[in-house]
Every structure is written in C-alpha cells, then in structure tokens.
C-alpha cells in the first residue's frame, strides 16, 4: 500500500493568486471566468481572455462572461423577458380597450332598440325592420369581435406559458453542464455545501473527483469538437450507472465529480469501481475520422464527508487524492484517509496527509 505525503497546489489557489496579481475584483462571476480560462477547458475563452491584455477592466470581463458564462449575467435574460412581457401586455391592453369601446357602442344600439320596442305608439313595419336589422348586425359584429378577442386571449395565454417555460429552462440551465447534460460546478458546489448544512451532523457520503487520463489522445488541444465528444461520451457512460440520489457533475475540462450517498467506505469503493468500469466500457470514436481513440481510464480521488469540517475542505481532500492518482500514472483511485484502510485493493492507494 503506497503512502503519499505531497500534493499539487490547487488550481483554485492559483486562480485566486492570479486574480490578485491582475487586480481583478474577487466577484464570483470573475472567479469562475478566470478559473475557466486557466483550466483550458475552453480554448476560445482562454484566447479571448489573454487577448484582453494585462489590464482587464470589469466591463471587458463582463462582456466575455456574457458570451461564455451567461448564467452569471441573468439580468440580460430578465431584461429580455420583461420586454417580451411588456409587449404582450401592451398589445393585450389595447385589445381590451377596443373591446370595451365596442361593448359600449353595442350597449348604445341595444338601448336604442329597447326604447323603440318600448314606445307607446304603434310601430310601423319599416321602423321595426330597421331596428331589428341594426340589432342583428351589431350582435353579429360584436360576436365576431368577441371570437377574435377569445382567439387573441388564447394566443396570449400560450405566449405567457412559453415565457414561463423559458424562465424555468433558464433557471434549470444555470445548474446544468450544456455539453454533457450533467450537473455543473455550481450545482455540485451547492450539493456539497448541503452536506454540512448541519455542521454537528453532516450527511454521510463519499466525494469523488475523477479526471480522464491522457486526454490529449482523444484530440489536439485546438480540436474542441473531438475533446467535447470525449467528455460527452464519458459523461453519458457515467449517467448510465449512477445510482438514484447520487450526484454526478462535470466540473471543467476533462474533470468530473461525484457525491455517493453511503456511510460505508467499501460501498463507496464499489460505486467508484462501477464508474471506472463504465468509463472504459466503450471506445471513444473520433468524430472526424471515425476511428477509435481507445477507452477512457480515470484518475480518481475519494474522501469521506466525515474527514472534513466543511465542503471546501472535503473538495480539497478529494482534489489532492485525484492529483496523487494522476501523478502515479493514472488508471487508479486514491482514498484520502488518516488511517490505514482494510478495503484497499488493486488500483487503489491511500493518501495520508
């Protein structure tokens, strides 16, 4: 059983240091933008980030963020939705005013006809026919307008449902990785924080970080389509074996994260092995050449919620353990633990701080 005592510096610390050195405000949206740029998960974002220059204004950062991380700039979506609603309601109110005016005119015709029929004198045939004709035409016209109003109201109801669906989709997509359909980093961070909602009694579970080994063999750094294909392929395989109640997320680049609901370390290890087997179950086909690029193997780091005092510390332990697996050659799991572990087996190591 190997013991590891050193750990690579967390990318999170490097990002925070870089932000301080570049004078970038420590806003959450800035942190995620710089993190994405430094991780290299999106080469286009990285290039545009560098192109801003050494002096990066908040305005320039926000313009970049709106393009690549729109969930941090939801005021744009809210503004567009508000404008749609204003347009619909203005049109609808105009129609209601027309309907109100039309009903007023119709009421006048009915009132005039009523006075005609209620007169004490004898009505001649021509007057009676004229009143009936006017009333008939007005009634037909009003019915037609009412039908049109119902149709317009129905269309507006449909439009309102669409706006509501758009808002719900927008809220949902803030927590979804668009490439894989898995949870994203924001969603995972929220799930990890819930573990320690009651610090005195944290939820019993295991956290696992996984990185696809030798990722460059699935595509050149500039070949975004091939790399995206590899991530999507592995993400779908993960989704096929993850248990109900467990969380699977894509963090960035070729890194994934899992929360496995169990207090049993051996069960956590079995769940992680299922994920490793799934990732290697089908070869990744290069979308450009149609040739197999091989099967994915993983460098995995695991930590139990009981070894940490909070979500940040737990994720830090998981990341250290994952980096240990990667340094040792990949295709293995490192379990972060303060004690010897009876369940360690082939392909598993113990990280001891």
pLDDT at residue 74 is higher than 70:
no
Residue 14 or 316, more confident:
316
Range 23-27 average pLDDT: 83
Distance CA(295)–CA(293), nearest Å, equals: 7
Residue 45 or 315, more confident:
315
Q: How confident is the model at residue 14 (pLDDT cuts 50, 70, 90)?
A: confident
Contact in structure between 15 and 34 (CB atoms under 8 Å): yes
Q: What is the pLDDT of residue 252?
A: 85
At 122, phi and psi to the nearest 5?
A: -75, 130
| Residue 341 region by backbone torsions, left for phi larger than 0, else alpha for psi between -120 and 50, else beta | beta
pLDDT at residue 224 is higher than 50:
yes
Q: Which residues on adjacent β-strands are paired with residue 211?
A: 255, 299
Q: What is the pLDDT of residue 54?
A: 83
Q: What is the pLDDT of residue 124?
A: 62
Q: What is the pLDDT of residue 66?
A: 77
Domain range list for the chain: 3-68, 74-173, 185-351
Q: What is the pLDDT of residue 135?
A: 67
pLDDT at residue 3 is higher than 50:
no
Q: Which CATH number fits domain 185-351: 3.10.129.10, 3.30.70.270, 3.90.550.10, 3.40.47.10?
A: 3.30.70.270
pLDDT at residue 193 is higher than 80:
yes
Q: What is the pLDDT of residue 26?
A: 77
Q: What is the pLDDT of residue 140?
A: 74
Angle at 294 between CA 288 and CA 295, to 5 degrees: 120
Q: What is the pLDDT of residue 5?
A: 34
List pLDDT tens digits, range 78-88.
Answer: 556 666 666 66
pLDDT at residue 7 is higher than 50:
no
pLDDT at residue 353 is higher than 80:
no
Range 174-178 average pLDDT: 86
User: Does the pTM exceed 0.85?
Assistant: no
pLDDT at residue 2 is higher than 50:
no
Q: What is the pLDDT of residue 277?
A: 96
Which whole-number Å values give the CA distances from 315 to 95, 103, 228, 263, 287, in the listed order? 57, 67, 25, 17, 34
Task: Report CA Rg, the chain.
Answer: 32
Residue 278 or 82, more confident:
278
Q: Give Cα 249 to chain centroid, integer Å.
A: 11
Q: What is the pLDDT of residue 20?
A: 80
Q: What is the pLDDT of residue 229?
A: 95
Q: How confident is the model at residue 154 (pLDDT cuts 50, 70, 90)?
A: confident
Range 134-161 average pLDDT: 70
Q: What is the pLDDT of residue 331?
A: 94
């Amino acid at each position: 059983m190997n013991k590891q005592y050193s750990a690579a510096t967390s990318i999170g610390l490097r990002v925070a240091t870089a932000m301080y050195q570049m004078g970038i405000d420590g806003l959450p949206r800035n942190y995620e933008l710089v993190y994405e740029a430094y991780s290299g998960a999106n080469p286009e974002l990285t290039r545009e980030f560098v192109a801003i220059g050494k002096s990066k204004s908040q305005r320039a950062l926000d313009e970049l963020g709106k393009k690549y991380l729109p969930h941090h700039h939801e005021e744009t979506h809210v503004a567009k939705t508000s404008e749609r609603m204003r347009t619909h309601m203005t049109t609808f109110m105009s129609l209601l005013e027309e309907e109100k005016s039309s009903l007023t005119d119709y009421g006048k015709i009915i009132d005039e006809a009523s006075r005609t029929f209620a007169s004490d004198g004898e009505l001649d045939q021509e007057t009676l026919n004229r009143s009936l004709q006017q009333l008939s035409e007005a009634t037909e016209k009003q019915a037609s307008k009412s039908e049109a109003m119902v149709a317009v109201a129905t269309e507006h109801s449909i439009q309102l449902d669409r706006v509501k669906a758009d808002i719900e989709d927008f809220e949902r997509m803030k927590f979804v990785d668009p490439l894989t359909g898995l949870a994203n980093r924001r969603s995972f961070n929220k799930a990890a924080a819930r573990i320690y909602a009651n610090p005195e009694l944290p939820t019993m579970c295991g956290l696992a970080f996984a990185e696809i080994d030798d990722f460059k063999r699935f595509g050149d750094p500039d070949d975004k389509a091939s790399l995206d294909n590899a991530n999507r392929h592995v993400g779908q395989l993960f989704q096929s074996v993850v248990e109900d109640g467990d969380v699977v997320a894509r963090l960035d680049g070729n890194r994934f994260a899992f929360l496995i609901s169990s207090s049993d370390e051996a069960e956590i290890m079995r769940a992680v092995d299922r994920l490793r087997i799934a990732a290697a179950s089908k070869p990744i086909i290069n979308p450009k050449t149609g040739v197999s690029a091989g099967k994915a193997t993983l460098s995995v780091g695991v930590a139990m919620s009981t070894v940490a005092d909070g979500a940040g510390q737990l994720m830090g332990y998981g990341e250290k353990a994952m980096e240990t697996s990667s340094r040792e050659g990949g295709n293995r799991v490192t379990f972060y633990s303060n004690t010897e572990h009876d369940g360690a087996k082939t392909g598993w190591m113990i990280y001891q701080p």
